[in-house]
Amino acid sequence: MFEAREWLKNSVNPSALAGNRFKNTLKALEFVELLYNKGAAIVYVDNVRDDYSDTLVVKLPKDESKRSELLLLQKREEELEGDILLTKEILLQSGFPSEEIEEIIREQEESDIISFWWD
């Protein structure tokens, strides 16, 4: 993984991050700056192949209000992408035992890391 801001600034690819989401590398860099402005402790690019990535990994801050803002932004991006969030109802419908569901939900809520992935 690479720190996203530096990686994007040094990229020679005109569309280095999630070309289906960002018009160009500059727009992707603006999104990374938004994450930092909302309080991200650090933002990495992951899954880099040939100077291109489709994934950001964000370390959340300790501040609960900033964490909430970043989680809301993640939710909006997932909705734009058409991803289905792992909610209790969806997990129940998928046949997961309720005790496993509680553990999955707790792990998501307690995690200090979130990711953004555009397909």
Alpha-carbon distance of 31 to 96, in angstroms, equals 35
* Residue 112 and residue 59 in contact, taking contact as beta carbons nearer than 8 Å: yes
Residue 8 pLDDT: 98
pTM for the full predicted model = 0.81
Q: Which of 3, 80, 96, 14 is nearest to 43 (CA)?
A: 3
Distance of CA 85 to the CA centre of its chain: 13
Alpha-carbon distance of 67 to 109, in angstroms, equals 10
Q: What is the DSSP letter of 13?
A: -
Residue 87 pLDDT: 61
Query: How many residues are present in the chain?
Result: 119
Residues β-bridged to residue 45: 2, 56
pLDDT in tens, the chain (119 residues): 999 999 999 999 999 999 999 999 999 999 999 999 999 999 999 999 999 999 999 999 999 999 999 999 998 888 776 655 556 676 677 787 878 877 877 777 788 999 999 87
- C-alpha distances in Å from residue 117, one per residue of 25, 54, 95, 107, 114: 16, 6, 26, 19, 10
